[in-house]
Amino acid sequence: MLNSKLNGEVYFPSAEVLKNATIKDWEQLNKKALDNYEEFWSELASELHWFKKWDRVIEDSEKPFYKWFTGGKTNIVYNCLDVHVNTHRRNKLALIWEGENGDSKTFSYYALHRETCKFANVLKSMGVQKGDRVTIYMGRVPEIVIAMLACARIGAVHSVVYGGFSVESLAERIEDSNSKVLIVADGAYQRGKIVQLKQIADEALQRCGTVEHVLVVKRTGQEINMESGRDMWYHELMNLPIAIQNNTLEEVDSEYPLFILYTSGTTGKPKAILHTHGGYMVGIYATLKYVFDIHDDDRYWCAADPGWITGHSYIVYGPLLNGATSFMYEGAPNFPYPNRWWQIIEKYGINILYTAPTAIRGLMRFGEAWVNRHNLSSLRLLGTVGEPINPEAWKWYYNVVGKGKCPIMDTWWQTETGMFMITPMPCVPLKPGSGSRPFPGIVMDVVDEKGNSVQANEEGYLVIKTPWPAMIRTVWKDSERYISQYWSRYPGMYLTGDSARKDEDGYFWIIGRVDDVIKVSGYRLGTAEIESALVSHNTVAEAAAIGLPHEVKGNAIYAYVILRTGVEKSPALIDELRQHVSHEVGPIAKPEHIEFVDALPKTRSGKIMRRVLKAKALGQDPGNLSTLEE
Ligand code: WT7
């Protein structure tokens, strides 16, 4: 493709950017990957350590249960830590952490390896064995990284629950994963206040019965309940003779489970997405290497939370696989002042910043003077993820934060994809609001109801037509759901759940979710979770939740509630219900607004027609109502 022929508003890479970029010719790399897909991935896999080399790159005899690097033996943590400890990176910083209250900690590769080995031995002494699930529920503190790595090191399967979730969400995830061990923090700092993580966990544990040991990380030092015989302090365990730095490590098969991560889907309860050691490792290693073009002396900051896939892939595993220095900040971007992030970039000399459109829009509201107080000249690359970025926010990010010299990597991917799927690289011309084209070798398309490609610029369903190494392996304990959710609509194509357009240059433009998933501040929530939380309140008979456009959050939750007979409608009850959702699911799910109604639009089979509610709220035409019952 000739660059000069691109349509629309295009930002070309500068000579400086091209000079720094490891990959200078995207077309060539893409061609190489398309011509020999297996060899492309096999070469990248060879850059990592395998205890035994794989026999086959892709095994598709049981599709859609694809397998990658079968016959190989590895352990992702060996490649994250041990490999570097034996090189010039031994004393290089692996992790720099700053607490919201100003505390800070650093870990060299040597130190992170040591802490991980010690904690791996602690877990073993608690009876955690290969294949066991361990639930982790913490804020953004270094111990969450250590806990994840320690689990993976001994072949245990971690299930991280985002610290912004609350009682019912946590209980449900512990129960479904059947975890015997829970690792939790006493609390987390957020916007100057303490989130009572341990208290929430105690309440959750009353609702589920699998956990035998609770290991508690001291972050805030506040008084908390410690149940004797069940709860133990992390720091005390780490000082016992059992916490030794021997090299306990399981050499696992490529396809051995690494983690499960719950995410919201179309219906019912959140489902656990399974990722495995080998393919996931290769996928995120390669994508981070090429897209954020990690240089050995870079300081890279992914401002997401380890509790979501972005944090798993690109705070924890990806940077460590690349031997990078990863920075993590505990708190809110505007605490105590709206310059906190810019101060951090200046203080640590951050070179790469990866965040979400909602954060950019939020900071944009405070005005550029807050940014301009700081020297941000260390920045080389910027990134965004989680929802479509509106061109205004893109331009502010590009001009005000990046001073017009840092390309923005708009990365489209999902919990299920594990790695970036639609993304530019520094050498790729950018169009604000588009993530450009799929990662080299990956074939994606926009199709109609029948699965045929639509014309350029026409809206349709976004699908993936090639298997990729970090792909979801199955829905934990529910392979039926894996097939029905992702592979049954169009045989041979993975259904993303998004709608999109592809322009005449092959650039993809994401429109949004087409299912009952709402993206609030980039967080993925299911209407079903919000509705079931509402219905669990003793005044509610029925509920429907929808997402409506919101300036900063992208979408905000609106809920429609039918009260039980005899219950009085009142503003106080609205507050109580919003609070109830926050307590059950988490503050991120708290509805912006609740409206009491007498009936809900339903199909004859009883399914709530959320699109009708949405149209009504927006004053739009509700479209085809032929299936509406009344
Ligand atoms: C959904 C997946 C994987 C990172 C965090 C979200 C939306 C993600 C983009 C982007 C437009 C995006 C999609 C996708 N999404 N990145 N760059 N542009 N939309 O993971 O929670 O599994 O959500 O996030 O709708 O399906 P997730």
What whole-number distance in Å separates Cα of residue 546 and Cα of residue 609? Answer: 10
Instruction: Provide the pLDDT for residue 405.
Output: 97
Angle in degrees, 0-180, between the axes of helices 142-153 and 109-125, rounded to the nearest 10: 60
Beta-bridge partners for 68: 58
- Show Cβ contacts of residue 20 under 8 Å, excluding neighbours closer than 6 positions: 293, 295, 380, 426
Q: Whose CA is nearest to atom 20 of ligand 1?
A: 414
Residue (of 143, 160, 80, 136) closest to 113 by Cα position? 80
pLDDT surpasses 90 at 312: yes
In tens, the pLDDT along 390-414 reads: 999 999 999 999 999 999 999 999 9
What whole-number distance in Å separates Cα of residue 425 and Cα of residue 507? Answer: 13
Name the pLDDT band for 5 (thresholds 50, 70, 90): confident
Q: Whose CA is nearest to atom 13 of ligand 1?
A: 387
State in Å: Cα 325 to ligand 1 middle: 25
Name the pLDDT band for 267 (thresholds 50, 70, 90): confident
In three-state secondary structure terms, 553 is coil
* Average of per-residue pLDDT across 121-147: 97
pLDDT surpasses 70 at 630: no
Instruction: Provide the pLDDT for residue 214.
Output: 98
State in Å: Cα 387 to ligand 1 middle: 5
Instruction: Provide the pLDDT for residue 326.
Output: 97
Residue (of 180, 75, 77) closest to 123 by Cα position? 180
pLDDT surpasses 50 at 1: no
For ligand 1, which residues put their CB under 6 angstroms from it?
263, 309-310, 385-388, 410-415, 435, 496-498, 510, 513, 519, 524
Query: Ligand 1, from 280, 309, 312, 385: best to mutate by most atoms within 8 Å of Cβ?
Result: 385
Beta-bridge partners for 561: 543, 596
Q: Are the beta carbons of 425 and 400 closer than 8 angstroms?
A: no
Q: Whose CA is nearest to atom 27 of ligand 1?
A: 414
Instruction: Provide the pLDDT for residue 3.
Output: 55
Tokens 């690349």 correspond to what residue? 322
In tens, the pLDDT along 522-577 reads: 999 999 999 999 999 999 999 999 999 999 999 999 999 999 999 999 999 999 99
In tens, the pLDDT along 460-484 reads: 999 999 999 999 999 999 999 999 9
Read off the pTM.
0.96
DSSP single-letter state for residue 315: I
Q: Whose CA is nearest to atom 21 of ligand 1?
A: 524
* Average of per-residue pLDDT across 328-342: 97
State in Å: Cα 143 to ligand 1 middle: 26
State in Å: Cα 412 to ligand 1 middle: 6
Q: Are the beta carbons of 316 and 418 closer than 8 angstroms?
A: no
- Show Cβ contacts of residue 130 under 8 Å, excluding neighbours closer than 6 positions: 154, 155, 156, 250, 252
State in Å: Cα 513 to ligand 1 middle: 9
pLDDT surpasses 80 at 235: yes
What whole-number distance in Å separates Cα of residue 433 and Cα of residue 9? Answer: 10
State in Å: Cα 250 to ligand 1 middle: 33
Mean pLDDT of the chain: 96
Residue 413's identity, in one-letter code, is: W
Q: Are the beta carbons of 431 and 507 closer than 8 angstroms?
A: yes
* Average of per-residue pLDDT across 50-73: 98
Atom of ligand 1 nearest to the CA of 517: 25
Atom of ligand 1 nearest to the CA of 416: 22
Atom of ligand 1 nearest to the CA of 524: 21
CA distance from start to end of the chain: 53
What whole-number distance in Å separates Cα of residue 144 and Cα of residue 304? Answer: 13
What whole-number distance in Å separates Cα of residue 327 and Cα of residue 514? Answer: 34
Instruction: Provide the pLDDT for residue 244.
Output: 87
Query: Ligand 1, from 413, 423, 461, 462: best to mutate by most atoms within 8 Å of Cβ?
Result: 413
Q: Whose CA is nearest to atom 8 of ligand 1?
A: 386
Instruction: Provide the pLDDT for residue 605.
Output: 83
Q: Whose CA is nearest to atom 17 of ligand 1?
A: 412
Cα→Cα distances 575→192, 250, 326, Å: 23, 50, 40
* Average of per-residue pLDDT across 421-433: 98
- Show Cβ contacts of residue 223 under 8 Å, excluding neighbours closer than 6 positions: none
What whole-number distance in Å separates Cα of residue 404 and Cα of residue 387? Answer: 22
State in Å: Cα 547 to ligand 1 middle: 15
Query: Ligand 1, from 160, 260, 384, 414: best to mutate by most atoms within 8 Å of Cβ?
Result: 414
Name the pLDDT band for 4 (thresholds 50, 70, 90): low
How many alpha carbons lie under 13 Å from residue 245 in its C-beta half-sphere?
7
- Show Cβ contacts of residue 150 under 8 Å, excluding neighbours closer than 6 positions: 116, 117, 119, 120, 122, 123
Q: Are the beta carbons of 350 and 472 closer than 8 angstroms?
A: no
Q: Are the beta carbons of 330 and 189 closer than 8 angstroms?
A: yes
In tens, the pLDDT along 583-602 reads: 999 999 999 999 999 999 99
Residue (of 405, 360, 397, 409) closest to 379 by Cα position? 405
Q: Whose CA is nearest to atom 24 of ligand 1?
A: 386
What whole-number distance in Å separates Cα of residue 58 and Cα of residue 310? Answer: 25
Beta-bridge partners for 328: 97
Query: Ligand 1, from 162, 312, 387: best to mutate by most atoms within 8 Å of Cβ?
Result: 387
